């Protein structure tokens, strides 16, 4: 079974691991990248998800290459950490614009083909921080919590057309995003994780691939934590 899969922000980190996981099992996988080159062996389209025109163009290219998107993984995201009193309007809106509005944009465009086909899988990459909160990340946590309400609304809206919409909420994963933290911050985080370590990007990819598999056909509107136990109870 080869499906048309699109992963946003699939040129590095968690998105790249997700794209490789789908490609390994024979799916046709496209990734979006903002700059640089597409990763080797994957079909890349240049796209900044904050620009509606670029999103439209990216979908056209993907559809031409591998047909309408059947599995969408909305993974692209950014942080702009700052304590509330120092957080500018720009810091807040840039994070919301990428993580929440950008996701709305790519999901809306993918749903068109899925509604027509009467099937589809949508997986949104949120974060444990969206449920737990995090000092210095009010913008990021708000955007990631927003994805949960967004996904659950779509689960209700699109369910009758055999389209599922789920959220994966990773804990701390070893990528460029977390490599930006100091050694002290990293040690502090690990001390709070029951499994006592960061996740590998492939461990997030495994949950995403499961949600897109036939075995997960009856799962929708779910939030699946992949966080080493950090967010237990939420």
- Residues assigned a catalytic role: 140
Binding mask 165-204 for ligand NDP (x = CB under 6 A): -----x-xx-xxxx--------------------------
75 is in an annotated binding site: yes
Cβ distance 123 to 73 under 8 Å? yes
> Terminus-to-terminus CA distance in the chain, angstroms?
35
- In the list 25, 38, 46, 48, the residue contacting ligand NDP (rule: CB under 6 A) is 48
Q: Which of residues 113-152 bind ligand NDP (CB under 6 A)?
A: 125, 127
218 is in an annotated binding site: no
Q: Which residues contact residue 185 at a Cβ distance below 8 angstroms, ignoring those fewer than 6 apart?
A: none
Which whole-number Å values give the CA distances from 188 to 45, 69, 102, 192, 193, in the listed order?
38, 40, 31, 7, 9
Q: How many Cβ atoms sit within 10 Å of the Cβ of residue 53?
A: 9
Residue 125 corresponds to which tokens in the numbers above? 């990459």
In the complex, minimum distance from the CB of residue 18 to ligand NDP, in angstroms, rounded to a whole number: 9
Q: Does 78 bind ligand NDP (CB under 6 A)?
A: yes
User: Annotated binding site for NADP(+): which residue ranges?
Assistant: 9-12, 75, 140-144
> Which residues of this chain interact with ligand NDP, rule CB under 6 A?
8-9, 11-15, 32-35, 47-50, 75-78, 98, 102, 125, 127, 170, 172-173, 175-178
């Amino acid at each position: 079974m080869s499906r048309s899969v699109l992963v946003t922000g699939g040129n590095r980190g968690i998105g790249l691991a997700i794209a490789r996981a789908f490609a390994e099992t024979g799916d046709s996988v496209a990734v979006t990248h903002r700059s640089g080159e597409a990763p080797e062996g994957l079909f890349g389209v240049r796209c900044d998800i904050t620009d509606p025109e670029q999103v439209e163009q990216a979908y056209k290219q993907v559809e031409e290459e591998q047909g309408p998107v059947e599995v969408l993984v909305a993974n692209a995201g950014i942080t702009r950490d700052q304590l509330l009193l120092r957080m500018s309007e720009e810091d807040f809106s840039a994070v919301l614009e990428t993580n929440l509005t950008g996701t709305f944009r790519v999901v809306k465009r993918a749903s068109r083909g899925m509604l027509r086909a009467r099937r589809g899988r949508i997986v949104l990459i949120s974060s444990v921080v969206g449920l737990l909160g995090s000092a210095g990340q009010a913008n990021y946590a708000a955007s990631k919590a927003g994805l949960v309400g967004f996904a659950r609304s779509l689960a209700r809206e699109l369910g009758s057309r055999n389209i599922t919409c789920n959220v994966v909420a990773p804990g701390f994963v070893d990528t460029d995003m977390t490599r930006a933290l100091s050694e002290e911050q990293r040690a502090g985080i690990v001390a709070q994780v029951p499994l006592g370590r960061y996740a590998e990007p492939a461990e997030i990819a495994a949950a995403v691939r499961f949600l897109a598999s036939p075995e997960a056909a009856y799962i929708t509107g779910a939030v699946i934590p992949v966080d080493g136990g950090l967010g237990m109870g939420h």
